[in-house]
Homo-oligomer: A and B are copies of this chain.
Amino acid sequence: MNNDDVIGLLAAVRKSRPLVHNITNFVVMDFTANALLALGAAPVMAHALEEVEEMATLAGALVLNLGTLSGVWVEAMFLAARAARKAGKPVILDPVGAGATRMRTQTARRFIESGLVNVVRGNISEILAVAGRPAKTRGVDSGAGASDAREVAAMFARSNRVVVSMTGEEDVVTNGWQIVSVRNGHVSMTRVTGTGCAASAITGAFCAVEGDALKAAAAALTVWGIAGELAARQNPRPGTYRTLLLDALDEVNAEHIRERARLAESGFVM
């Protein structure tokens, strides 16, 4: 996994313009759709029980986000996930707020235990909560220490046969045997709602063009992190920064990746 992989995958996304089917939370739908468009992918949001299977089959990837979950939406997510699996399409789960309420933690676990999920993208406290090693989660924001999170993530990935994509100051992407760390991004991203959810949606776009979910997830976080850095060039306040994040997703190119990508791959020994 190196810079050229990221450059190649970004080009592939922009060339094939994959349709990403999102069943996501109400807060971030607009920002998520605009982030996918700015990246060069195509978003669709659909949650009706009557159509999610058809839409998931049509799309290149399915992104499930628990940010404002409710019973019937979770049901629709399962229907969509089964259809995506059947059609060989990757499924990304974003367990927003896992650890904050039992419903969120348990729903996230149900998805992972179902075997329908390819990538779990969350912040450290969400991943720890899903793995049964809860740090204290504060609403939907991250907070937990990163000390042993890396190890927990890798073991959780291995035992559940998923790729864990855990974002924080250092992002950790692991399938349980390999770990790719990504040190891109900017602290201002924590001042804008939906930047984590956008990371998951962008991961969906990359998974649609790359079968190795580890590689796809790491490339997605690298590109999004670099966009976060580009947007911060003029030290903007959060309203402007949110706008510049979308501009930067459109702007980010091979040269930016060569100059800025901070990827590191390592094996993991339990």
Contacts and interface: CB of A to CB of B under 8 A. Distances in A.
Interface of A: 19, 25-31, 33-34, 37-38, 42-51, 54-55, 58-59, 67-71, 97, 100-104, 138-141, 191-194, 236-240, 242-248, 250-251
Q: How many copies does the complex hold?
A: 3
Given A37-B191, A238-B37, A100 B246 contact: no
Classify the secondary structure of A's interface with B.
Answer: mixed
A40 to B, nearest CB: 9
A252 to B, nearest CB: 11
A102 B54 contact: yes
A102 B237 contact: no
Nearest to A52: B101
Q: A-B pairs with the 9 shortest C-beta distances?
A: A239-B246, A237-B247, A33-B193, A44-B139, A51-B101, A239-B243, A51-B103, A48-B70, A239-B247
26 contacts: A25-B45, A26-B26, A26-B29, A27-B29, A30-B194, A37-B193, A37-B238, A38-B238, A43-B139, A44-B100, A45-B68, A46-B68, A47-B70, A48-B70, A49-B71, A54-B100, A58-B100, A58-B101, A59-B139, A237-B247, A237-B248, A239-B242, A240-B243, A240-B244, A240-B246, A242-B246
